Amino acid sequence: MHETLDYGINFLNTRDFYGAGHNELLVGKAVKGRRDQAFISVKFEAIFHNGQPLGMDLRPIAIKNFINYSLTRLGIQTIDLYQPSRMDGNVPVEDIIGQFLQPISTNSYAKSMKKDWQNKLSNWHKLKLKSKT
What are the pLDDT digits (tens) for 95-123? 777 776 665 444 444 444 544 555 555 55
Q: Which of 7, 18, 82, 109 is catalytic?
A: 18
pLDDT tens for 11-21 read: 988 888 777 77
pTM across the whole model: 0.71
Q: Is 69 a catalytic residue?
A: no
Q: Nearest 5 degrees, angle CA 109-CA 115-CA 119?
A: 140
Query: Nearest CA to 41 among 8, 87, 66, 10?
Result: 10
Output the pLDDT for position 114: 46
H helix runs in 1-133, sequence order: 2-6, 22-31, 60-74, 93-100, 109-120, 123-132
Q: What is the CATH class of 2-132? A: alpha beta
**Which pLDDT does position 74 carry in this prediction?**
93
Cα 101 from chain centre: 13
